[in-house]
Structure 1
Amino acid sequence: MNKLKTYQIKISIATASAVAILFVGCGDNYKRVGQEAATTIYPQGVARNFTLTYTEAKKEMSSLDSAETRVIAILKSPLNKDFDNLEFQYKEFPEGLQVDFFDEKNQKSVITADYGIIYSQTNLIDLQGNVVITAHDGKKLEAPQLYWDRKNKWIFTQEKFTYTNPEDGTIMDGEGMDFNREFTFFNAHKTYGLMTIKEN
């Protein structure tokens, strides 16, 4: 009997050890990746019914001067999230935006988009979703996405676009283009489809 009890005790110890090893081996030491590991990022500021007016002085000023300024752009959005507290700074407009900008003659052109993001350090604006630029003379550009380089006053896309010019009655479809803000220089990378030309 002694041998049987010893044998049963050994089996019980072996079973208990196996269960303990099983529980220790099943510990949660899984390193989270992807969405699970994403750090929550909070904006430093949130503004609703946001309006920002950009102005510039008509002449260069010193620190003690005062001078007349002119409005060069007005940015409006239902929601603005300011992430300038991050290392890579940006401002986001998740519910869309409208930018009215004015040339030297105070003629207004308008840009609208469903979503926008301004990269503060590079002065690049990424506009997405139903992007429409309407120039003061009625020229219109429609595209799903556009980039606007504010520093160089240059707009470009690699997406499909439709360009309407009421001056000569033409409608042009294409893919990829770049142009200056005033529409005085326009470079379409690829054009296709029908071009409607107004007859006199």
Structure 2
Amino acid sequence: MIRLLINSPIMEEYSMHTLFPNGIKLFFYEKYPNKYTYLSANWMKYTKKIFYHFKGNILIKNKNGDFLKSEEIFWNKKNKTIFNKKYTIIYCSNGTILYAKNGIEASDNLKKIRLKNISGIIPI
């Protein structure tokens, strides 16, 4: 069972989309194995609860403790993918830090990641 907790000061509903112009914090909580995924952004828009667009100071933390930071992310909920063409940093729980200068394509749980123009720090 997955629960979703949304925290936002303002939500605007329109016929074709919903807008969170003053930021949003999302918690996806799984009771078993008692883990959560966290996402925050300064702005969010979603269309038909399938396609989400996040902007500004984005932070995503998955249930394994990996972090993703960027200024823009698109999330296709139906395909379970996230992507962008912006500078993105991923901090892995094992100490690896990855820098994608030209964007990212990944599964929404960050298990499969494709980084564009990558550099990074890998602990040895």
- 1:24 matched residue in structure 2: none
Instruction: Name whichever structure is richer in strand by fraction.
Output: 2
* 1:159 match: secondary structure: coil
- 2:9 matched residue in structure 1: 78
- 1:102 matched residue in structure 2: 29
Contiguous gaps of at least 5 residues in structure 2: none
**Which amino acid in 1 is paired with 2:23?**
G
**Which amino acid in 1 is paired with 2:37?**
S
Q: Shift in Å at residue 92 of structure 1?
A: 0.4
**Which amino acid in 2 is paired with 1:74?**
L
- 2:96 matched residue in structure 1: 170
RCO greater where, 1 or 2, for CA within 8 Å and sep 6 or more?
Answer: 2
- 1:9 matched residue in structure 2: none
* 1:79 match: secondary structure: coil
- 1:140 matched residue in structure 2: 67
Higher radius of gyration, 1 or 2: 1
Identity %, equivalent residues: 20
Instruction: Name whichever structure is richer in helix by fraction.
Output: 1
The answer to whether the aligner puts 1:113 opposite 2:113 as a matched pair is no
Which of 73, 82, 86 does residue 159 from structure 1 map onto? 86
**Which amino acid in 2 is paired with 1:83?**
Y
Q: Shift in Å at residue 117 of structure 1?
A: 0.4
Q: Shift in Å at residue 114 of structure 1?
A: 0.3
Q: Shift in Å at residue 132 of structure 1?
A: 0.7
Instruction: Output the TM-score relative to the length of structure 1.
Output: 0.57
**Which amino acid in 2 is paired with 1:114?**
N
- 2:58 matched residue in structure 1: 131
After the TM superposition, which segments of 4 or more aligned residues of structure 1 sit over 6 Å from their partners? Answer: none
**Which amino acid in 2 is paired with 1:115?**
W
Q: 1:106 to 1:180 in 2, by over 3 A?
A: farther
Q: Hey, what's the Cα distance between the residues in 2 that align with 1:163 and 1:83?
A: 34
**Which amino acid in 1 is paired with 2:46?**
I
Q: Hey, what's the Cα distance between the residues in 2 that align with 1:179 and 1:134?
A: 14
Instruction: Decide which moves more: 122-131 or 109-118.
Output: 122-131
The answer to whether the aligner puts 1:197 opposite 2:122 as a matched pair is yes
Question: For residues 99-156 of structure 1, what are the alpha-carbon distances to aligned partners after superposition, in whole Å with 9 as ceiling and x for unaligned?
Answer: 1113563420101000000112x71000000011011222110000000111121111
* 2:86 match: secondary structure: strand
- Matched residue count: 122
Instruction: Output the TM-score relative to the length of structure 2.
Output: 0.89
Question: For residues 38-89 of structure 1, what are the alpha-carbon distances to aligned partners after superposition, in whole Å with 9 as ceiling and x for unaligned?
Answer: xxxxxxxxxxxxxxxxxxxxxxxxxxxxxxxx334222211100002xxxx1
Contiguous gaps of at least 5 residues in structure 1: 1-69
